[in-house]
Amino acid sequence: MPRTGRCLRLLDTTAPSDLTDGEEAHTGSVTDRDVVRRAVIGADAVVHLAGIATEAAWEEILDVNIGGTQAVLHASAEAGVRTVVVASSNHAAGFWSRPPDGSLLADDVPPRPDSFYGWSKAAVESLGRMYHEHFGMTVVNLRIGWCSEHPGTRRGAEIWLSPGDAARLVEASIAPSVTGFHTVWGVSANSTSWWSTAGGAAIGYRPQDDSEAYASQLTEPDVDWPSPLGGPFTTNPLGRPL
């Protein structure tokens, strides 16, 4: 439920059937600039989660992930939105591996995308930086791991983001006290994680869930992930859906 006094405005390609008090909906594509402009008018914060969430053809990635994100950022800047939260992905950094010295991988490690999809997420991070510099609005990029009810593999346990922590991460990101430009790992407080928590701490994100609670349910051998962060994305043919 939205907090008291808050209106949650939703934009999706299909109209929701379960709106509650304090919620309203706009229907349309993120690539439709007129729809996007109407949706962000009067907003304090915009949480941009729309896009193709896996590998796809180059033209589709450009249209939806790049064009759609630019439409959101530009409309938000024109409307005077305070904060824009952009859903990035761990695949923006997919060719990074676990540091051999045991250190944690920084939230803002330079992009090493593993696919057209990963490249698009690295690109929208850069777009967010440009809009922050030009217009002064706060932009928070979330390099999301694996968001699901529970992890299914040891690999997933390292990068798991619980739904509850996803909500806590968004709430932290849109807080009025958060200003500037940030790139943050979207991950829970997993015992096996090798991602830094510094970026999240800087915006007040305090994850509460640990994938270790599901350790007994994971059947994959308990070994280090042997390939780069992006896993199969690093070897899958470019543009081919997994």
Could you give the residue numbers annotated as active site? 117
E strand segments, 49-197: 83-89, 138-144, 146-147, 160-161, 181-186
CA angle 20, 6, 47 (to 5 degrees): 90
Q: What share of the chain is helix, strand, coil (3-state, %, to 5)?
A: 35, 15, 50
Q: At what angle do helices 116-135 and 68-79 cross, to 10 degrees?
A: 10
CA angle 215, 105, 226 (to 5 degrees): 55
Closest Cα to residue 144, out of 187, 174, 115?
Answer: 187
How far apart (Å, rounded) are the C-alpha atoms in residues 242 and 239?
Answer: 9
CB 188 within 8 A of CB 210: yes
How far apart (Å, rounded) are the C-alpha atoms in residues 103 and 133?
Answer: 31
The b-or-e profile of 203-233 (16+ CB within 10 A means b, else e) is bebebebbbeebeeebeeeeeebeebbbbeb
How far apart (Å, rounded) are the C-alpha atoms in residues 122 and 105?
Answer: 16
What is the Cα 184 distance to its own chain's centre?
9
